[in-house]
Chain A
Amino acid sequence: MTRAVYDSIRAHGEETYPYECCGALLGKSTPEGWRVAGAIRAGNTRTDSAHNRYNIAPLELVRIEREARRQGLDVAGFYHSHPDHPAQWSHTDFAEAHWLGCSYVITEVAHGKAIVTNSFSLTGLTEETKQFVQESILLED
């Protein structure tokens, strides 16, 4: 992941604090994992419970996919923040994760400051066998 993307998704979490931010990560698949070159901010449709839930409108995802194609990139994964909670996946994150093979990046934002950012790859071949596996984030300039 480029440092610019890393900084931007953490800044997004600080801006939306105490609510959760969310967005998509664009990149290319490599043997070592996703090489993330860009991020697209998305609106959180869960205005009823934005401090602890996020949801990206499907139509926004359609447009994100179009933008990825335009840039010659793929949707590599998604990011969101956990305001005042650890950067670990929740039961809700797992239950509602359906992009197998993609990365889910979570940033803990404590008292308005981005603290820890972790990435979890949604592995497995089917919805029934999926699991999150933590992966390291390597930054490049």
Chain B
Amino acid sequence: MHIFIPTPLRPYAEGKDAVEVNAATISEALDVLTQSYPGLRKHLFTEEGKLRAFVNLYCNDEDVRYLAEKEQTAVSTSDTLSIIPSIAGGVAVAVNRAAAADYRAGEMW
């Protein structure tokens, strides 16, 4: 299957934006990937070997978490796996505008 590597992980995959692996399942594909590029492992998995919470895996257009067999789902050579770190944020805290102005000089908000 084709595995698409997101921008931040490419330095750990010799700069490649996609890697072709021979694997029967998603889990196996990730094993092959991290064996070929060991530097990717700590970015994808916790020390306990669990996929990091902010890493999303999409097999074609399907969220792997919601596939019946999850990472054990069978794949073929034409399938694609996208590794997508999450994107979120925001001001999040309610503050008044006068206080906000004090921070405009550059301090973290």
Q: Which of A74, A88, A91 contacts B17 (CB 8 A)?
A: A74
Bound-complex Cα distance A97 to B88 (A): 7
| B48 vs chain A, min Cβ distance (A) | 15
- B interface, size bucket: 35 or more
In contact, B104 and A65 (Cβ under 8 angstroms): no
B68 within 8 A of A: no
Q: Is the CB of B6 within 8 A of A52?
A: no
Q: Are A90 and B90 in contact (CB under 8 A)?
A: yes
CA distance A134 to B107 in the complex (A): 11
B37 lies within 8 A of chain A by Cβ: no
Inside 8 A of B86's CB, which chain A residues have their CB? 55, 58, 96, 98
Secondary structure at the A interface, as helix, strand, loop or mixed, is mixed
- B84 proximal to A (CB < 8 A): yes
Contact A99 B88 (CB under 8 A): no
For residue A4, CB closer than 8 A to chain B, the reply is no
Given the known inter-chain contacts A61-B84, A62-B82, please indicate yes or no for A98 contacting B90, CB distance below 8 A. Answer: no
Which A residue sits closest to B61, measured CB to CB?
A59
Inter-chain CA distance A110–B86, complex, in Å, is 27
A11 to B104, CA, bound (A): 21
Residues of A within 8 A of B94 (CB): 52
Whether B7 contacts A20 by the Cβ 8 Å rule is: no
Chain A min CB distance to B58 (Å): 5
* Set of chain B residues within 8 Å of A114, measured between Cβ atoms: none
Which residues on the B side are within 8 Å of A62 (C-beta)? 58, 61, 82, 84
What separation, in Å, do the CA atoms of A102 and B90 have in the docked complex?
17
Do A88 and B107 have beta carbons less than 8 Å apart? yes
Q: Kindly identify which residue among B17, B56, B90, B95 contacts A92, using a CB–CB cutoff of 8 Å.
A: B90
Given contacts A52-B90, A62-B58, contact A88 B6 (CB under 8 A): no
**Which A residues fall within an 8 A CB radius of B?**
20, 22, 24, 46, 49, 52-56, 58-59, 61-62, 65, 69, 74-76, 78, 80, 82-86, 88-102, 104, 110, 116, 126-127, 134
Hey, which bits of chain B sit against chain A, CB under 8 A? 4, 6-8, 11, 17, 42-43, 52, 54-56, 58, 61, 63, 82, 84-95, 97, 100-101, 103-104, 106-109
Sample of 9 more A-B contacts, CB < 8 Å, known A90-B109, A99-B8: A52-B92, A58-B58, A61-B87, A62-B82, A82-B91, A92-B89, A92-B91, A99-B7, A99-B87
